[in-house]
A and B are shown apart, each in its own frame.
Chain A
């Protein structure tokens, strides 16, 4: 069941009073399935952040429809969503504990006694117990990102939306955040996060939505995309006393070649389909879209 459905989303911005209108989202469609870790992939400026803001009613789309849990984004739906924006800034003068209390209370999530335990649990989970009473003004970028993730989780949301959660972090920070995302998913929550970091997407996600210039160019399971997307075949065969390896770009060519080898008395040892990287697929899809 899709937790989030986006249909024909359009958004344009006008720069300045008499400035030019720029179309950022152009008939964007996609869904996020329950229980998945869905990566929202696109180059810088593709419209990822605008999409996030439009679906959450932070900016208002010109056209299109967005449904969370089957209905419009009302207060009941908001109570089931956790969100971390890109490069988050928070109230600098609040301590870590005060900050999480504030968001929990806004979400009407916990009774005071239970809330204290929940905050301690989350601070431990994001490894910030040591800084819980320090003001956020003294937090590093990685620490802010972690406390940001904690605020997104404080009310145990069904759907966690993260906008570029790993952007600008060092490798340690990226690893920590990706571990947290995996943990969230293991707990049965759905994660939808935007990124332009292909390596992280490939490692963490099981579903993928790819956009280019505000349009969806792919939606589906990432393993199928990487396996089926015209990956070449590696053929290992034995003939004339020698082992030979060939690379064939398509299934049709593979079939022709197999028939020939067998008819000439050769023996097939192994057929392997090479795994393409997400980077190759991304570039190919982006190029295909720009040609059309």
Chain B
């Protein structure tokens, strides 16, 4: 566990000092700023627009961070050959993958916490009381980022980064459109759509289960059991992907 923590800390430190991360953060902060401006254009819904737009900015930033940094996390180590001096140390390859995954998880968590604090300040400035549902939605976003991170790590074991980004981007869209896909499959039971829907339902993660923004939109009550089971679903997917990635990495040539 100690070795995994050392690798995670260094991964965190290395990425947090990278300029690309700051560009992403700046972009997300600009979106939050824009949410304030857009809210002011509205007559009656300023709070809700600012809230939704701000959450979307955090969502976008966490998805981009998971996919783009996750896709190059191990590839860069191999490409830059930094991995060579690490793998000859007394640690296993599984520990290496887990350390990398944990480092990026910490980074995503830090970014979500940082950006959500900024949004909370904006809302506080508008005189809005921060509801508990805000924290619950952020937890869902974090869960989704974990699933995407797991998928990118897994795909990065067999594909090059650009392909990993494309495929994970596709899985992200499918993951959010599974409800629509199931709806159309029910409407057309004779075609191929039901089979495709079944494959995506059982073979790919349903990211809509972690999208809880509706709690605000429809002012629903939080059903804790559902939320905990959905979060467990996301964590299980992430763990499954990271485990398969570690398994593939065990016998991978790193040259």
CB within 8 Å of B: which residues of A?
A: 49-50, 53, 56-60, 75-76, 78-79, 81, 83-85, 87-94, 98, 102-103, 105-108, 148, 151-152
Contacts and interface: CB of A to CB of B under 8 A. Distances in A.
Nearest to B79: A89
Interface in B80-95: 80-92
A93 B14 contact: yes
B85 A90 contact: yes
Contact of B253 (A58, A92, A106): A58
Contacts of A103: 85, 89
A67 to B, nearest CB: 16
B121 interface: no
Nearest to B9: A102
A14 to B, nearest CB: 11
Interface string B87-115: 11111100000000000000000000000
Contacts of A151: 85
Contacts of A91: 10, 14, 82
Contacts of A105: 6
B90 A60 contact: no
A56 B254 contact: no
Nearest to B10: A102
A58 B250 CA distance: 10
Query: Is the interface on chain B under 10, 10 to 19, 20 to 34, or 35 or more residues?
Result: 20 to 34
5 contacts: A60-B253, A79-B90, A93-B13, A106-B90, A108-B2
**Most B CB within 10 A of own CB, among A53, A94, A102, A151:** A102
Contacts of A88: 81, 84-85
Contact of B82 (A75, A89, A98): A89
B251 interface: yes
A57 B87 CA distance: 9
Contacts of B90: 75-76, 78-79, 106-108
Contact of B10 (A56, A94, A152): A94
**Most A CB within 10 A of own CB, among B2, B18, B87:** B87
B107 to A, nearest CB: 13
A107 to B, nearest CB: 5
A106 B109 CA distance: 24
Interface string B205-249: 000000000000000000000000000000000000000000000
B3 interface: yes
Contacts of B251: 60
A93 to B, nearest CB: 4
B17 interface: yes
A93 B253 CA distance: 26
A83 B92 contact: no
Interface string B109-147: 000000000000000000000000000000000000000
A58 B88 CA distance: 8
B255 A59 contact: yes
Interface string B190-206: 00000000000000000
A94 B81 contact: no
B151 to A, nearest CB: 23
B59 to A, nearest CB: 27
Contacts of A87: 81
A7 B91 CA distance: 25
Contact of B88 (A49, A50, A78, A98): A78
B66 to A, nearest CB: 21
Contacts of B253: 53, 58-60
Contact of B84 (A58, A60, A107): A58
Given A58-B254, A59-B253, A105-B6, A94 B85 contact: no
A74 to B, nearest CB: 9
Contact of B6 (A79, A106, A148): A106
Contacts of A89: 80-82
A106 B255 contact: no
Given A59-B253, A94-B13, A84 B89 contact: no
Nearest to A87: B81
Contact of A83 (B2, B3, B18, B88): B88
Nearest 3 pairs of A and B residues by beta carbon: A93-B17, A59-B253, A85-B84
A218 B14 CA distance: 44
A76 B254 CA distance: 22
Nearest to A78: B90
B101 to A, nearest CB: 17
A94 B3 CA distance: 18
**Most A CB within 10 A of own CB, among B3, B84, B91:** B84
Nearest to B84: A85
Nearest to B80: A89
